[in-house]
Structure 1
């Protein structure tokens, strides 16, 4: 039987944000009544994800900080991983890149300590986007190479799609707008086939990239390259 977090996260990936909110509020009530601290941390983190998808960064930070404080109080370091990840992501979206970098590095170290290899790679993907935004394309290139290799070796369809988006952003940085449009098309088509939408921070990257590419290529040119196999 799927856990609350399995069900809520799957719904979040499908873009069913209202459902995630309902599930998370109900779980938070249950967990508080039961004195279930891990349950509270999980519910607060999902509510933080709902908030950031709605553009309410302040509420996201407040919820994730509450979750992190609860997690720290248990002494169970594994409970920290979601709040730390969410706080890094909302800092990135808000343009606080120094805080985001510190958060992603903490998150990577925590996941390495816990032996969560695939989770480490997802955070390396996020750090790669940050490296690009702060003017370090070669660092981003190496991080994205690690992500692409992991996705291929383990046949991770969702990670492949996110890796394609990362490569699209890198291609634009390298002065290859047509290639960037093609890779963006691959990423979004793959996610649609999975019935999923991008996470909020990656959705923001994709939207900004699309806007820049249309300005460079024109709408007809963008559409042509976006649809290339």
Structure 2
């Protein structure tokens, strides 16, 4: 199943894209749609996607804003735009394909075939995580993250160098896209096991995981065995 998000602000164009994708992929596709950057952000928070079909001009907003965020995600992106002159900039940000409007059905079918092949080859496992900074999005290698802590509607990324960064996705959402080295040890903690040193038993049957640098994090009882196996 290919989970797809179509981001297009012209209703008729959006309907055509969705219809063609359904015709080409049939039951192999689950399709959601959005008409603005805010709607797209909401959709990306709600579900994990495999493929983004993105217009670059969204009610006066620049789709490149979303494209830059997508660099740190595990999904692939196909740009569908009338602005063919922006193709080189899009490819520089790692898009899988660029379809110039108007496009024939055969061209979309070709792009979707590439997306299916790329998804089968890459699987899950983001190598970069995007965090907001004053002047835009900064990309952090996931190996720089020691552990991640729930912080209300956000998460706090605790880095190997001691810094702390806020992220706008929940622990559940991050766990779905990060590499297997990241293990949920508690409802509030997701840990990079490459940075873990030892499992410690405390009084009352409580457990804590000691990280490099000395920080100790609580381990839920139901997760102790999984943590112990990863430390072997």
TM-score (norm 2): 0.31
- Which structure dedicates a bigger proportion of its chain to strand? 2
Which structure has the greater CA radius of gyration? 2
- Which structure dedicates a bigger proportion of its chain to helix? 1
TM-score (norm 1): 0.31
